[in-house]
Each structure stands twice: as structure tokens, then as C-alpha cells.
């Protein structure tokens, strides 16, 4: 019998444990030397000047939205095929996330649609209306300026950034990279995190590297780096005295224990990513050519993949949701991934989405299935998952299609 297969596992060794314990024996448990070292290391990985540690990826995205100048009713273009934080961070500043559909191969934002949306939204009027959330159409007075693009590097594969960078330049928009799933990835040999005005990595325990909870903003813009340091620390400026607060800030600080853990994890990044790539290759080998299962496809612009999750597509007549249930019956976890943001109850209610607005996103949302995945997964575990998956996929198809095969 194969041991229980978890959905994900952190990859923590003795060096990490030692680093955290050593930190506990120091007098500085927040805003200390470990955070500074962790920030330098993350900035180097992204190939940029500055790193600013924060207590989650979501906090990091929020601060980037502030830096981009997003205020009441301002628009930020992103996708619905993501984790909900990619859009919520805009709402925190009372802005409006404007979703555009995604590329069917990668699930990343479609740069052609972004170019059309930006042109129409800048022009205003009826042309702009069709890009807005249903509840805001015909209500242009409540809509502010278009400020930023927020592409997501879904599943660890960079979005097609060059055309987005062109569009942003032409219309003077900021680019915030949601690189929370893509640390160590590269787009045309350029590191994820170096492609926009600022980018965010996340370190929740299911991410490639973890600090428990944590995030990191990386940027080449010095003024933004200073702003981020102030905003994460209750609005204190570097030159402020003790308890002097220049602006409205937050407690988004990352503690030294997390930073110590993160620093060791980053030192092991290449090793961890190589192990994840090996697990992905095991899956690919076993699932290639299996009827009604489509394995992940990597775009030619992705010169280095940072495997975050292994997501297959379960194609009709097989039934994704039935597959989830059948796998669960064998004790194997799996997750529909992503559930589109615009179909989440809160977004339906706030913005009037009803389904049908983003066909590619909704299709991917209905067929995508994340399988158990981590750097510490064994080949035997991958075997067990694949056997159960192939069986579940066959049994999930209606009888009429399988020609009455016993289920």
C-alpha cells in the first residue's frame, strides 16, 4: 500500500529548523538582519534592486496597488482565472478589477484582449462599457481612471509580458506582476519579478518555497521600495522618529523567524524547483496520451518553468467533478483549480456577474484539476495517483459513451 498522498507538502530540512531555532536565541524577532538578508536574496532571484518582505502575498499586492495610485473607482486590468487575492487587492483601495479573458493554452491573460480593453477604456463611452463589470455598465460617472495592468503568472508559468509592456508604455500604466506562483520562473530568459514596475512572491506552505505565512515585493523603483517599507510598518518613514507616522500604513511586517526560514529556502530554490520539475515529468510520462486527460502545456516564451501545481484538464465525456469524487473515495485529494473569481459569490453579488462573461476562463475553470504535487513526492505516489486518476476518468464518462463498460 502506498502511504497517504497529501495535496501539497513543504520541503523543510534540518538547515531550516536550525536557522529558525538560532533566530529564537537572538534579541531581534522583527525587522532585523534576517529580513534584510532575505530581501537581498529575493531581489537577486528576481534580478532587481529591491526586495521588501511582507506578511503575505496578498499584503504585497495591496501595497503595489497603493503605489500604482489606485483610488476610488480606478480600474485595474487582470484576469478572473486566478486566486481571489489578485482581484481583492484592487477592492481594498476601492478600485475596480476589470477582468479580461485568458489564453486557452496557458490560462494567462490574453495580451490582445488587454490591448483592446485598454484602447476602449481610455476612449470611454459605449466602447468602454462592455469591458466593465455588468453592475457598472452605463454608470460611467462612478468609474475612475485606468491605472494598471495586473497579470498573473498562473501555475508558475509567466504571462506573455512583452505585448503587455508595450501597451502599458503606450498608455502610461503601471504593471504589477502577481508572481505569487512563479518564483524562479523565466520569460524569454528574464526572471519573473523583473518584468513589471513591481512584483510579488508568496510563501504560503503550498508554494514552492515557504515561510509559513509571508510575501515579498520586488522592484527596481527605489521610491516604491521606500514607500513599501513605510506602508508595511504603520506608515512610518525611514526618517521618521519613533512613533511618527507620515501616512496611513498597515502592520504587514514579516518576522525574523519567517525571514530566517525563507532565506534558507531561497538558498535551496534551484534544488527545490528541480525536484518539482522531476515530479511533473513523472506525471507527464504516465498521463501523456491518456484519453480525456490533457497534461499541462508550456508556452515557448516560458524559458524556465517554476512548477507550482500540476494541473490537468479532464475533457468531456469524462466529468471533472465526478473524477474528484472518485479520487476522494480512494483517499486521493484533488482540487478544481482555479474557480474563476467572477463566479465567486461575493463578485456575483457586488458586480452582477452571472456566468458566460469569460468563456475561456469558465471553460478552464470547469475542466482543470490540480493533482497532489510537491517536491517531496515519490515516484510511487505519482504512480498511485495516476492509476487512480486513469480509472476515475474512465468511470466518470457516461455509459453511452463508454459502450456500456461496467462502472
Asked if 56 is part of the footprint of ligand PLP (rule: CB under 6 A), the reply reads yes
Nearest-angstrom CA–CA distance, 62 and 58: 6
Report how many residues bind ligand PLP under the rule CB under 6 A.
Answer: 14
Nearest residue relative to ligand PLP (C-beta): 57
**Nearer of residues 206 and 301 to ligand PLP, judged by Cβ:** 206
CA atoms 351, 356, 360, 363: torsion sign: positive
Is residue 162 within 8 A of residue 109, CB to CB? The reply is no
Is residue 81 within 8 A of residue 102, CB to CB? The reply is yes
Asked if 90 is part of the footprint of ligand PLP (rule: CB under 6 A), the reply reads no
Asked if 152 is part of the footprint of ligand PLP (rule: CB under 6 A), the reply reads yes
**Nearer of residues 128 and 370 to ligand PLP, judged by Cβ:** 370
Query: Which of the ranges 102-110, 176-184, 272-280, 281-289 carries the binding residues for ligand PLP, by CB under 6 A?
Result: 176-184
Asked if 202 is part of the footprint of ligand PLP (rule: CB under 6 A), the reply reads yes
Which of 38, 81, 83, 283 touches ligand PLP (CB under 6 A)? 83
Nearest-angstrom CA–CA distance, 347 and 344: 5
Nearest-angstrom CA–CA distance, 71 and 298: 36
For residue 35, the surrounding DSSP H or E stretch is helix 33-46
Asked if 82 is part of the footprint of ligand PLP (rule: CB under 6 A), the reply reads yes
Q: How many CA atoms lie within 13 A of 210 on its CB side?
A: 16
Nearest-angstrom CA–CA distance, 325 and 327: 5
**Nearer of residues 168 and 179 to ligand PLP, judged by Cβ:** 179
Q: How far is the CB of 209 from ligand PLP (least distance, A)?
A: 12
Classified as helix, coil or strand, 201 is: strand
The pair phi, psi for residue 345, each rounded to 5°, is: -50, -45
**Nearer of residues 83 and 99 to ligand PLP, judged by Cβ:** 83
**Nearer of residues 341 and 388 to ligand PLP, judged by Cβ:** 341
**Nearer of residues 224 and 338 to ligand PLP, judged by Cβ:** 338
Is residue 57 within 8 A of residue 217, CB to CB? The reply is no
Asked if 57 is part of the footprint of ligand PLP (rule: CB under 6 A), the reply reads yes
In the region spanning residues 203 to 222, those forming contacts with ligand PLP, defined by CB under 6 A, are: 204, 215
Is residue 99 within 8 A of residue 121, CB to CB? The reply is no
For residue 199, the surrounding DSSP H or E stretch is strand 198-202
**Nearer of residues 178 and 256 to ligand PLP, judged by Cβ:** 178
Instruction: Name the residues that contact ligand PLP, by CB under 6 A.
Output: 56-58, 82-83, 85-86, 152, 178, 180-181, 202, 204, 215
Amino acid at each position: 500500500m502506498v502511504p497517504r498522498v497529501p495535496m501539497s507538502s513543504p520541503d523543510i530540512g534540518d538547515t531550516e529548523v536550525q536557522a529558525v531555532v538560532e533566530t529564537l536565541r537572538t534579541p531581534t524577532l522583527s525587522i532585523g538582519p534576517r529580513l534584510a538578508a532575505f530581501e537581498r536574496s529575493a531581489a537577486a532571484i528576481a534580478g532587481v534592486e529591491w526586495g521588501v518582505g511582507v506578511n503575505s502575498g496578498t499584503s504585497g499586492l495591496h501595497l503595489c496597488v497603493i503605489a500604482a495610485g489606485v483610488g476610488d473607482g480606478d480600474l485595474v486590468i487582470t484576469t478572473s482565472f486566478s486566486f481571489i487575492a489578485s482581484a481583492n487587492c484592487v477592492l481594498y483601495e476601492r478600485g475596480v478589477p476589470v477582468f479580461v479573458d485568458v489564453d486557452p493554452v496557458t490560462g494567462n491573460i490574453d495580451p490582445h484582449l488587454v490591448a483592446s480593453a485598454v484602447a476602449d477604456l481610455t476612449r470611454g463611452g459605449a466602447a468602454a462599457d462592455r469591458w466593465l463589470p455588468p453592475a457598472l455598465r452605463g454608470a460611467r460617472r462612478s468609474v475612475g481612471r485606468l491605472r494598471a495592468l495586473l497579470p498573473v503568472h498562473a501555475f508558475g508559468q509567466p504571462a506573455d509580458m512583452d505585448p503587455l509592456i508595450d501597451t502599458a508604455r503606450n498608455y502610461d500604466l503601471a504593471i504589477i506582476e502577481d508572481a505569487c506562483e512563479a518564483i524562479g520562473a523565466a520569460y524569454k530568459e528574464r526572471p519573473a519579478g523583473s518584468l513589471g514596475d513591481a512584483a510579488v512572491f508568496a510563501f504560503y506552505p503550498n508554494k514552492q518555497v515557504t515561510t509559513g505565512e509571508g510575501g515579498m515585493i520586488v522592484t527596481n523603483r527605489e521610491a516604491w521600495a521606500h514607500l513599501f517599507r513605510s506602508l508595511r510598518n504603520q506608515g512610518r518613514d525611514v526618517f521618521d522618529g519613533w512613533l511618527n507616522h507620515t501616512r496611513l500604513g498597515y502592520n504587514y511586517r514579516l518576522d525574523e523567524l519567517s525571514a530566517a526560514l525563507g532565506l534558507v529556502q531561497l538558498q535551496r530554490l534551484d534544488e527545490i524547483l528541480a525536484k518539482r520539475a522531476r515530479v511533473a515529468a513523472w506525471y507527464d510520462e504516465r498521463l501523456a496520451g491518456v484519453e480525456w486527460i490533457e497534461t499541462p502545456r508550456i508556452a515557448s516564451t516560458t524559458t524556465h518553468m517554476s512548477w507550482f501545481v500540476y494541473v490537468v484538464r479532464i475533457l468531456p465525456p469524462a466529468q471533472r467533478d465526478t473524477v474528484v469524487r472518485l479520487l476522494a473515495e480512494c483517499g486521493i485529494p484533488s482540487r478544481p483549480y482555479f474557480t474563476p473569481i467572477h463566479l465567486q459569490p461575493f463578485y456575483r453579488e457586488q458586480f452582477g456577474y452571472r456566468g458566460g462573461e469569460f468563456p475561456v476562463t469558465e471553460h478552464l475553470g470547469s475542466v482543470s484539476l490540480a493533482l497532489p504535487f510537491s517536491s517531496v513526492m515519490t515516484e510511487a505516489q505519482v504512480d498511485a495517483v495516476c492509476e487512480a486518476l486513469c480509472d476515475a476518468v474512465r468511470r466518470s464518462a457516461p455509459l453511452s459513451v463508454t459502450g456500456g463498460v461496467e462502472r
